[in-house]
Amino acid sequence: MNADRARTIAGIGALLAASAPMAFAAPNPAPAARAPELQAIVDCRALTDRDARLNCYDAAAAKLDQAEAAGQVVVVDREQVRRVRKEVFGLELPSLDIFSSLTKKTPGGAGEEVDRITATVKTAWRGGDGRWNLELDNGAVWRQVDDSPFANDPHAGSKVEIRKGALGSYFMKVDGQPAFKAHRDR
């Protein structure tokens, strides 16, 4: 290899290395602001007079209760968040970041990120392209996106495991067979 070609290749490599972090960097989402009704309760802690603090808590709690009853504020616990994350596993719903503070892994925290699910096939059929479509018992519909063959065709009652892959991909195993790439349609 001549010196000019080596310098060109080295320059391209340096350019790619320098630009790679920028090409793949994703902006950090801003933390969600607290609902004003919740913030009002938190703000009551700053009051030093006992009676004023109690009156503040009573008024703020009443407003939070009214807002929750009217559907303006929704209160969920970690178990509800876990169930929702499992139900929407595989769908691209960025608005679900509202649950991120409840699922962060913190020292001693109980948060969890759902990276795999198991389910049972309700119905299975081949599409016009010859690839499999599977409706699961949770209502989700997944489609095979590669051409991996099956030793045993999927059918109602087949057990599936779906796990996250790299860069937003998903892999599905049916009845313990080798995994194939899949995409959730609904």
For the stretch 5-35, pLDDT in tens is 444 444 444 433 444 444 444 455 555 578 8
Cα–Cα dist 126/121, whole Å: 14
127 and 174: one domain?
yes
Domain boundary among 88, 114, 140: 114
Domain of 123 in residue numbering reads as 116-184
Q: What is the largest CA-CA distance in the chain?
A: 85
Would you say residue 106 has pLDDT above 60?
A: no
CB-side exposure of 141: number of CA atoms within 13 Å?
Answer: 9
Answer whether 0.75 is exceeded by the pTM: no
Residue partners of 100: CB distance under 8 A and separation at least 6: 29, 32
C-beta separation of 79 from 110 below 8 A: no
Domain boundary among 55, 75, 95: 75
110 and 124: one domain?
no
Residue partners of 103: CB distance under 8 A and separation at least 6: 78, 81, 82, 85, 111, 112, 113
**77-104 residue pLDDT tens:** 888 887 877 777 777 755 545 555 544 4
95 and 136: one domain?
no
Task: Tell me how many degrees the CA angle 160-164-170 measures, rounded to the nearest 5.
Answer: 65
Chain-centroid distance of CA 117 in Å reads: 12
Point out which residues pair with 125 in neighbouring strands. Answer: 133
- Overall number of domains in the chain: 3
Q: What DSSP string runs through 87-120?
A: HTTTS--GGGGGGHHHH---TT-------EEEEE
69 and 80: one domain?
no
- The answer to whether residue 69 sits within a structural domain is yes
